Structure 1
Amino acid sequence: MIAGAIFDADGTLLDSMPIWDNAAALYLEGLGYVPEPGLGRILYPMSMAEGADYLIARYGLSQSREEIVCGVSAAIEDFYFHRVQPKAGLEAFLQQLQERGIPMAVATSSNRRLVEAALKRLGLLSRFKGIFTCAQAGAGKSRPDVYHLANRSLGGPKPQSVWVFEDAFFAASTAGRAGYRVAVVRDPSADGDREQLEQLADYAMEDFTDFNGFYQQALK
């Protein structure tokens, strides 16, 4: 049974994970610097401010921390507003769910404005009851609050009848522990956790091109 569907945004609906690895490199290239290999991995555990401090120290930038944060943020914003693409097969997959009367919502840890702009440009925003963020929920995806918030917009069906689509292991684990059924959508950024993801998933998907395969599993 499927009474509703909740989708993560980055790496699930949107092929957006590369920008988080490459935004700082794009910023440096715009200033005429050659970024070091693996810069995204170096900056990943840092906050934006910490990352700016690293760039200042490593590359001798004359820009202030605030200027660097704004510059990197602008590169990310430009990507969402103008360039990010949906995962393969997504539009038809959402159409199939909508035709079956299955309500949908987005649960994301990202900035609502960026996700909304991307979905609007791609013609997908109207498919969803709403976009719900971890900031709204008051907790990250180590807790299920954002999924519960999104679920209420679907009419509040029991979690056991709602599918959560995720690409990240920690988020998929949280949804599963909260009682939701979990569909894991492959993203290269999570390939290191692929075996664990497939073990915890109720359904594992390469992309959104096989609706029938998913729907048959959902009806069980």
Structure 2
Amino acid sequence: MMLQDIDAVIFDLDGSLVDSMWIWEQIDIEYLGRFGIALPDNLQYEIEGKSFSETAHFFKERFQISDPLQKIKDDWNEMAWNKYSYEVPLKNGADSFLAYCKANDIKLGIATSNSRELVMNVAAVHGLEHYFDCIMTGCDVEKGKPAPDIYLAVADALKVDPSRCLVFEDIIPGILAGKAAGMKVCAVEDAYSEAIRAEKKELADYYIKDYTDFSSLY
């Protein structure tokens, strides 16, 4: 029923398509430690949904980092590269679900707040390049999530009406972005957002533990 009247499926990346949310707290601790700064307790909440560029700007202003924005982003990409290459798995059942969508002419897109370098790395490592008709990052649009910009941009690139798109998201700003774009949204369970599971279920149209919930389709 979830895929009824759906012409395109659009995935957030981190926490929705791959299990990677856990690495960013480690990277933030290490990165801020270079400047003698302890990780603030609420940092992850403050940057949720921001694009890679917006987050770099936030860090520069919040922590008074003198490095140029591009160097901040380059440092993060370098720190994350090996983890995304060797330590970040797909969500359970994601590969089978992607294959099902492709076989049934459902267009596929990615709408991520992460950097293009890292999302392309993930796609290459897991052999996903041929599945996706559009890969877009928050840096490609004016406003990051919870603004609907990135989801509307992906729908436009796919030439699909937003009302016929299904979004998979794991965090509140992403769910709100998908809903604001006029799309159906399925919340995805993730350990990082376990504490707000009830709120995710309330805001989204659907909720899954992982993509093995679709196994009856194949």
Counterpart residue type for residue 152 of structure 2: H
Q: How does 1:59-74 map to 2 (within 5 A)?
A: 69=72, 73-74=77-78
2:168 corresponds in structure 1 to 165
1:177 has 2:180 as partner: yes
Partner of 2:10: 6
Instruction: Note the C-alpha offset of 1:65.
Output: 6.0
Name the counterpart of 1:106: 110
Q: Which runs of 5+ in 1 are unaligned?
A: 55-63, 216-220
1:2 maps to a residue whose letter is: I
1:148 corresponds, among 152, 175, 197, to 152
1:10 and 1:114 mapped to 2: Cα distance? 10
Instruction: State the secondary structure of the residue aligned to 1:209.
Output: helix
| Structure 2 residue 212 is matched with structure 1 residue 209 | yes
Which residue matches 1:198?
A: 201
Paired residues of 1:21 and 1:40 also in contact (CA < 8 A): no
Decide whether the 8 Å contact of 2:133 with 2:158 is kept in 1.
Answer: yes
Structure 2 unmatched runs, 5+: 48-57
User: Are the equivalent residues in 2 in contact too, given 1:4–1:102 (CA < 8 A)?
Assistant: yes
Q: Is the 8 A contact 1:7 1:105 kept in 2?
A: yes
What percentage of residue pairs aligned between the two structures are identical?
31
Partner residue in 2 for 1:134? 138
User: Quick one: structure 1 residues 72 and 131, their matched pair in 2 at CA, closer, same or farther if it must change by over 3 Å?
Assistant: closer
- Note the 1:26-37 alignment, pairs <5 A: none
Distance 1:43 1:77, change over 3 A: farther
Indicate how the Cα distance of structure 1 residues 14 and 41 shifts in structure 2: closer, same or farther if over 3 A, else same. farther
Partner of 1:22: 26
CA contact (8 A) 1:183 1:201 kept: yes
- What is the CA-CA distance between 1:73 and the residue it aligns to? 4.4
1:144-179: per-residue Cα shift (whole Å, max 9, x none)?
1110111122222x2222101100112102211321
Aligned-pair Cα RMSD in Å? 2.8
Greater shift, 74-83 or 144-153, is seen at 74-83
The farther-off stretch of 99-108 and 19-28 is 19-28
Residues 53, 65 of structure 1: 8 Å contact kept = no
Q: Could you tell me the TM-score, scaled by structure 2's length?
A: 0.78
Q: Distance in 2 between matches of 1:146 and 1:108?
A: 8
Q: 1:42 to 1:166 in 2, by over 3 A?
A: closer
Q: Of 88, 95, 100, which residue of structure 2 is paired with 1:84?
A: 88
Larger radius of gyration: 1
Offset of 1:43 from its aligned partner? 4.6
Query: Which whole-Å deviations, capped at 9, do the CAs of 1:59-112 have from their partners, x for residues lacking one?
Result: xxxxx868x956554221221233321111110010111111101000011101
Helix, strand or coil for the counterpart of 1:101? coil
Q: CA deviation at 1:6?
A: 0.5
Q: TM-score, normalised by structure 1?
A: 0.77
